[in-house]
Structure formats: structure tokens, C-alpha cells
Homo-oligomer: A and B are copies of this chain.
Amino acid sequence: MTGLERFSINQMTVKQLSLPELADACAGLGIRNVGLWREPVRSYGLEATAALVRDAGLTVTTLCRGGFLTAVDPAQRAAALADNRRAVDEAAALGTDTLVLVSGGLPAGSRDLHGARERIADALAELGPYAERHGVRLAIEPLHPMYAADRCVVSTLAQALDLAERFPARQVGVTVDTYHIWWDDRAPGQIARAGAAGRIHTFQLADWTTPLPEGVLDGRGQIGDGAVDMREWRAYVETAGYTGPIEVELFNDGLWARDGREVLAETAARFVEHVME
């Protein structure tokens, strides 16, 4: 299939495939890039995964994910920082320069969004230099505001950039993911802001479909099925200077119930049709 040079398949989109199955399916379709997740990588083995993708000629575009940096309790904070340093190490071992960060929600019983965001900044001050020493950039991912309480208090690109800009771009930037920002009329301007500073560390796609499922985690739509104009968002990041991989990351019970190779082929075709053509 042509038009896939910049396509990257995030492993979660086809989590029913093992890593060797994913590598094999990518080879069959001419897919050169993958985004990986820490849990399946650990299950298969970090070194084994690194060898597998290297032998398959695959580029690892991102590792998902670090973060969850909003705890108040000192022991929990120390554990989170240690876990994020391990995530940096894993990213480096896999040969990717980008670690996606999901910042974390409000601690139980807290109503202090501002304080939680400041604790993220404190954590980044420790993690940024560590990541830089390992050749890894941290990519703060604003998550849709519907996750603000329980998953990520960073809800907009503007908030993510307000945090990132306290640090050098080689340490901290942002993840631009259509699923989380498509509704935001300020997002195009924030993409320009991010691009001008070299802070678009990864660009991810998912479509917005309704009704949302209970818990709102696993309803990310296949490209082309929903409300997001993919070409428009691609144009925003490209105008801002981003020419890197474009990762499709879908959490979708319907896709997960199907044959993974079929879903991968469909996703690649949708990418060509709705993003690149």
C-alpha cells in the first residue's frame, strides 16, 4: 500500500496481536513504524522487543506511557518518579526518542486542579534532565476534559504547553492527539505555538464517535468514522513544521473483537484515504 511512509500503528489499536504477529503484519502491509506500550513490551521482554523491532526494520515512534505525577503522598510521588525513570530507560532501550506522558488525575478527595498541575511541573523538573541524558523527550499529552478528574488534569494543548515551556524543548514537548483536542477552537493556534518552539513531539489520530461507552475509555473511533476532519488537523501540524510520523492509536472494543490483521489493514487503508490523500 502506498501512502504509508509516515503511518505508525500504535500497538493498542491492535492489542489482540502479539508483538511478533504485529511485526509480521506490518511487514506484509509495508508499515514501517510502530508505537509501543510498556505493559506488552514488558510481557514480551524489553530486550526481546528491541531485537524484534530492530530485526523487522521497524521504527519505534513512541513509547506509551509515563506520567501519573499528581500524587501528594511523598512515597507515592517517589514511586511515580522511579517508574517514570524506568519508562525513560525502556524508551531508550527500544530506540525511540519519545515517551508519552499522561499526567494523572486528582488525588482521591482532592478538588485542586491547579495544585495537581503544579505537582506535574515539579516532577518534570526532575524527569526532564534525566530523559535528556538518555536521548528521550517527554511528550505531555493533554487528554479530553472528560478525563480531568480521574486520569489527566491537563485538558488542553494550551495547558500542556504552559507546562512544557518551563523546560527546554529537547526535554519536554507535547502530544497532539485529535481525539482529545478536536473540539477546541484554540487548538490550531496552540499547535502553531508548539510547532514554532519545536515541541510537537508526536502526532496521534483517533476519530470521535458517539455514543460514548460507559467509562469513556474504549470508544475511540476508527479513522473516518466520526466527527474529526483528519486532513484539517494534519494541515495544522504540517503548517507548524511537523513532518514526522503520524500514529493511529485507537482504544475500541469493537476493533479489539475483530481479527487483528484485518483491523491493521483497515486502519492503514483509512489512514491513506482520510489523512494522506
Contact = CB atoms under 8 A, between A and B. Distances in A.
Contacts of A185: 113-114, 156, 159
B183 A148 contact: yes
Nearest to A145: B183
Contact of A149 (B186, B208, B213): B208
Interface string A176-218: 0000001111100000000000000000000010111111100
Contacts of A214: 211-214
A5 B185 CA distance: 38
A150 B159 CA distance: 26
A169 B148 CA distance: 32
Given A185-B159, A211-B214, A227 B111 contact: yes
Contacts of A158: 186
A149 B227 contact: yes
B146 A227 contact: no
Interface class of chain A by DSSP: loop
Interface in A144-169: 144-146, 148-150, 155-156, 158-159
A132 interface: no
A228 interface: yes
B210 A212 contact: no
A106 interface: yes
Nearest to A146: B146
A166 to B, nearest CB: 16
20 contacts: A111-B229, A111-B232, A112-B229, A113-B185, A144-B146, A145-B145, A145-B183, A145-B184, A146-B146, A146-B216, A148-B182, A149-B208, A149-B210, A149-B227, A156-B185, A158-B186, A211-B214, A213-B214, A214-B214, A216-B216
